[in-house]
Amino acid sequence: MKIVNIDNVYAWLYLFSSVPQMIFTAWAFSRCFELKVSQKVYYIAFTGLSFAHLVPQIFFGLYVPAKTFVLLALQIVLMWLMSKSGIVKAIIFNGFDMVINMLLEFALFLSFFGIFITNNGITTDVYTSERVVGSVLFTTLSLPLKYLLAAVWNKIAGKKQSKLRMSLIAFPVAQVLVITAIVSSFSQVYMNILKVDILLVTTIGLVIFAIADLIYMFFISDIEKKNALELEVNSMKYARQLEEQHFKQIEEKRYEVAKIRHDINNQLASIKSMVHSRHIEQAEELIGELENTVRNTQEYSYCSIPVVNAVISEKNKEAEKYGIQ
């Protein structure tokens, strides 16, 4: 195996300017998910993966077909093994990360009219100052975008314990396919290297986009149903609180009435004592008034539960007030 570019300073600069791209992705992932290993081990593993991806191409002239997608698969597996999150999260996160990379590369490609080439694109082993500049720009601009990805992910999906459905993978997959087709249509060089049928890739991407839209509509419908159920539950909780408050008031009133009845009974005993003292007329008049008062506070027994009896008695009084039999 022949070693090439060993004395090319631009090849070395390209290598060291490209490695941080993967490190930024690893850093963004670590902000969103809990790791099984230490940060040091995590970053060493991703640095090793970066060199394993770039060194054979730069210094040995080896090219792996669809190397970007191979690298993506390796990143997903590495993140899955080193984090406490499921593989679905790793796939979705890296899918959106790849969308960001492709959009950024395409934007820079259009801006510089193909002067530079990053490690995600052309497979040629010619490393020049323009190519290094392109890689440095790509690496520099990717940092705030990876930070934004992590911030948005944490805000929407949650940081640690959120669960994502496998069907969400349709979104980044569709975007990658459509972006690939667009990039290929703008660049004959890309078209020759990727060797893709633009119409076929675009069609597949649009079909997956349509599926993703259906999934999105399903999620929105599901969220609306949950919101409606939550609103109904909250309404029932509020009604229950009002009932409990009302029952508490009735129970307090029942205890108060019981105390009043007790006091009245004591007074009746006193009145009866007055009768024995020969104050007959006054005693009988007072007895009649007190008996009427006690009778009005009487609690009828509808069942064996005192609180229920109190509630029914209260409702009966309300019904009589409005002429309801």
pLDDT of residue 91: 82
pLDDT at 39: 84
Bridge partners (DSSP) of residue 83 are 35
Domain that includes residue 56, residue range:
9-159
Q: Domain count of the chain? A: 1
Evaluate whether residue 106 is within a structural domain. yes
- In the chain, pLDDT over 90 holds for what percent of residues? 0
**Encoded tokens for 104:** 């950024």
Distance CA(182)–CA(184), nearest Å, equals 5
Write down the pLDDT at residue 72: 80
8 A C-beta contact, residue 132 and residue 10: yes
Confidence at residue 117, expressed as pLDDT on a 0 to 100 scale: 45
Residue 248 resides in a domain: no
At 165, is the pLDDT very low, low, confident or very high (cuts 50, 70, 90)?
A: low
Bridge partners (DSSP) listed for residue 35: 83
Neighbours of 165 (CB within 10 A): 11
Alpha carbons within 13 A on the beta-carbon side of 301: 2
* Of 13, 102, 141, 119, the residue nearest 57 (C-alpha): 119
- What pLDDT is attached to residue 238? 86
Max mean pLDDT range (84-93, 143-152, 287-296): 143-152
Lowest-confidence segment of 83-87, 119-123, 143-147, 242-246 by average pLDDT? 119-123
| Closest alpha carbon to 116 in 127, 125, 102 | 127
Judge whether 128 lies within some domain. Answer: yes
Instruction: Please check whether residue 123 lies inside any domain of the structure.
Output: yes
Residue 133 CB partners (closer than 8 Å, separation 6+): 116
236-251: average pLDDT: 83
- 61 is a domain residue: yes
Most confident range (mean pLDDT) of 145-154, 212-221, 277-286 is 145-154
Beta-carbon contacts of residue 191 (< 8 Å; ≥ 6 apart): 184, 185, 198
> pLDDT band at residue 121, thresholds of 50, 70 and 90?
very low
Q: Which of 272, 298, 297 is nearest to 287 (CA)?
A: 272
Q: pLDDT digits over 145-161, tens only?
A: 888 888 887 777 655 54
14: which residues sit within 8 A by CB, 6+ positions away? 58, 119, 127, 131, 132, 135
Closest CA to 264 of 283, 285, 284, 292: 292
- Tokens coding 31: 């902000």
| Section 63-74 average pLDDT | 73
Q: At residue 49, does pLDDT exceed 80?
A: yes
Closest CA to 184 of 136, 122, 258, 271: 122
CA angle 204, 209, 214 (to 5 degrees): 130
Q: What is the pLDDT at residue 163?
A: 54
The answer to the question of residue 45 being in a domain is: yes
Asked if residue 33 is part of any domain, the answer here is yes
pLDDT cut 70: percent of the chain above it = 66
Cβ neighbours for 186, distance < 8 A, ≥ 6 positions apart: 106, 109, 110
pLDDT of residue 254: 77
Confidence of residue 27 (pLDDT cuts 50, 70, 90): confident
- Residue 26 inside a domain? The answer is yes
pLDDT at residue 118, as a whole number: 47
- What the block records as the tokens of 97 is 């990360």
Name which residue leads in pLDDT, 235 or 106.
Answer: 235
pLDDT at 229 over 80: yes
**Mean local confidence (pLDDT), 157-177:** 61
- Predicted confidence at residue 192, as pLDDT, reads 53
Q: What is the pLDDT of residue 249?
A: 75
Other Cβ atoms within 10 Å of 8 Cβ, number? 16
Predicted confidence at residue 22, as pLDDT, reads 78
Mean pLDDT of 180-206: 61
- Please tell me the distance from the alpha carbon of residue 200 to that of residue 202, in angstroms, as a whole number: 5
Of 187 and 48, the structure prediction assigns the larger pLDDT to: 48
Model pTM score:
0.52
* 255 pLDDT more than 60: yes
Summary mean pLDDT of the chain: 73
